[in-house]
Homo-oligomer: A and B are copies of this chain.
Amino acid sequence: MLKVGVVGGTGYTGVELLRLLVKHPHVVVQVVTSRAEAGTPVSQLYPNLRGHLDLNFSEPNIELLSACDLVLFATPNGTAMKMVPQLLDAGVRVIDLAADFRISDVDEWQKWYGMTHVCPALLEEAVYGLPEVNREAVKQARLVANPGCYPTAVMLGFLPLVEAGLIEVEQLIADAKSGVSGAGRGASVGMLMGECGESFKAYGIPGHRHLPEIKQGLARAAGKPVSLTFVPHLLPMIRGIETTLYSQLKGDVDLQALFESRYKDEPFVDVMPAGSHPETRSVRGVNSCRIAVFRPQDSNTVVVSSVIDNLVKGAAGQAVQNMNLMFDLDERAGLDAVALLP
């Protein structure tokens, strides 16, 4: 059994990770840390874990964590980078679910995240954990940067088109919508149900931290820089991201066949039958990205709609998928649930 530690298990990503890990057939959750909740039973903070996980939160502690085979960070941005070097030195492998190692260019990272990176040398080593792109590298990685939620949905939708060189990468548009759990579990007025219930809005139009991450990923796929307009929106619901992607076709192609072929061996990407419109609820609680592709009115504009559960394929599920790859387990282990519908 794989010995796993979770740092920062008090947010939504943390509890989702624990939900998946406690039922994973090859994993033992050895330690869950939280400075604020040290001593509290994990199942007291997260009543869904009652009867499934008999652990108290511990103080974050390198020694304790060093006894694990793998440590997963479900911490705010800027936390993992302070502990990762020591853990790697101790021979522990690491998956960071926050953003500390997602962007290779340290200046770009520091600009968007507003802090100094404390171990920039690791940025090059870190593998960007989108298995659909980096599967082999993930298997070998000591340090995996688990992708952001929006980037996962946007990149999986654009990749077949970008990799095949079929669209103008100077003019990509991603209109993205997320449920409120994407904002985490910190107390804030804006995320009160009284504020975001029964309402909808765009936010961060001038610039959102996921923009450079998406551009980096698409540029790698394109082999050249890309230009992207990315507009996130806040949905009055808890889980789920949908992104509607717009780009200009350069030639003619069977889009449906292109997408099906690109993802035919991917266990967690599901290209929907032609004409379908995927719903976020169809992936609620599961590690799947569902995608549909359209060319409305036979114009040159390709429209892609992709959906994920932001906490699963957009965070904790993808981390488990990466863990499975890193430790040579069945990639689907612990990730075979059926979505909760209705």
Residues of A within 8 A of B (CB): 12, 15, 19, 22-23, 46-52, 171, 173, 175, 177, 179-181, 183, 185-189, 191-203, 205-207, 211, 227, 229-231, 233, 235-240, 242, 244, 246, 248, 270, 275, 277-282, 284-286, 292, 294, 296-297, 299, 301, 303, 305, 307, 336-342
Contacts and interface: CB of A to CB of B under 8 A. Distances in A.
Q: How many subunits of this chain does the assembly comprise?
A: 4
B231 A279 contact: no
Contacts of A12: 194, 342
A338 B187 contact: no
A23 B336 contact: yes
A47 B211 CA distance: 28
Contact of A194 (B206, B227, B238): B238
A234 to B, nearest CB: 9
13 contacts: A48-B338, A177-B233, A180-B192, A187-B189, A198-B240, A201-B278, A205-B277, A205-B292, A205-B305, A206-B296, A229-B296, A231-B305, A233-B242
Residue of A230, A238, A278, A284 contacting most chain B CB atoms (<10 Å):
A238
Nearest to A297: B207
Nearest to A283: B48
A236 B193 contact: yes
A80 B143 CA distance: 57
A209 to B, nearest CB: 13
Contacts of A277: 201-203, 205
Contact of A188 (B180, B183, B187, B281): B187
A303 to B, nearest CB: 6
Nearest to A336: B23
A192 B199 contact: no
A48 B295 CA distance: 26
A339 to B, nearest CB: 4
A236 B235 contact: yes
A341 B11 CA distance: 11
B201 A296 contact: no
Contacts of A185: 189, 192, 194-195, 342
B236 A282 contact: no
A201 B242 contact: yes
A175 B282 CA distance: 22
A192 B194 contact: no
A241 to B, nearest CB: 9
Contacts of A240: 198-200
Contacts of A202: 242, 244, 277, 305
A237 B299 contact: no
